[in-house]
Amino acid sequence: MTQANKKGKLIIFSAPSGSGKTTLVHHLLKQPELNLAFSVSAASRSKRPGEENGKDYYFISPEDFKQKIKNNEFIEWEEVYTNNFYGTLKSEVERLRNEGKNIIFDIDVKGGMNIKNQYPNDSLAVFVMPPSVEELINRLKKRQTETPEKIKMRINKAEEELHYAPEFDVIILNDDLEKAKKKAYEVVSDYLKN
């Protein structure tokens, strides 16, 4: 079967905010032999500096997001904070899979588990573990994109999300970025060979 008519697999990277999952996903996307395509999520939040619609997220209003929920257009979605929705459009996933691409997700923990549950035989769920909650706080502060209140909300959510790690197929500790990149590549490469 050629790559063109073989449906792609799903690679799910989940972690608390600040764990380094986005850095690992970007590293993997640069490896052409993995045949990866990024799953662009929909978000109802405002764009951050440097973000592009259709590349980083599909930015839609909370009202449009709620209508798409009613229309059952998402594989998964979550109201992360009040009126702040994130979700994965079914149309995006099927388009990429039908192109024979392996889809990589950079997604929160609950969303990752939802996708894994819907595609149990076609997905690999990877949890990126931060070295500590203290390190997460430092990383979020260094970003300088969040208010102290937002950082506190993200840390509270992170402490809850860490309990889900054992439910994932693989856990990668990100205490050394180069080691974590190497491990992520090995795990994904091995999975795609099967």
Q: Check residue 108 and give its pLDDT.
A: 85
Instruction: Please give the structure tokens belonging to residue 27.
Output: 């590293």
Rounded to two decimals, the pTM is 0.83
For the chain, percent of residues with pLDDT exceeding 90: 63
Q: Could you tell me the domains of the chain? A: 3-193 (3.40.50.300)
Q: Check residue 151 and give its pLDDT.
A: 82
**Spatial distance between the Cα atoms of 54 and 95, rounded to a whole number of angstroms:** 14
pLDDT in tens, 68-77: 999 999 999 9
Q: Check residue 2 and give its pLDDT.
A: 42
Q: Check residue 16 and give its pLDDT.
A: 86
**Spatial distance between the Cα atoms of 132 and 138, rounded to a whole number of angstroms:** 10
Kindly compute the dihedral angle of the four CA atoms of residues 7, 68, 85, 139, in this order, to the nearest 10 degrees: 30
pLDDT in tens, 58-95: 999 999 999 999 999 999 998 887 889 999 999 999 99
Comparing 42-46, 128-132, 177-181, 184-188, the range with the smallest average pLDDT is 128-132
pLDDT in tens, 121-162: 999 999 999 888 888 888 778 877 778 888 888 888 888 899
168: CB partners within 8 A, 6+ apart: 14, 112, 113, 116, 125, 126, 127
Compute CA 171 distance to the chain's CA centroid, rounded to the nearest angstrom: 14
Compute CA 31 distance to the chain's CA centroid, rounded to the nearest angstrom: 18
Q: Is the pLDDT of residue 5 over 80?
A: no
Q: Across all residues in the chain, what is the average pLDDT? A: 90
Q: Check residue 113 and give its pLDDT.
A: 93
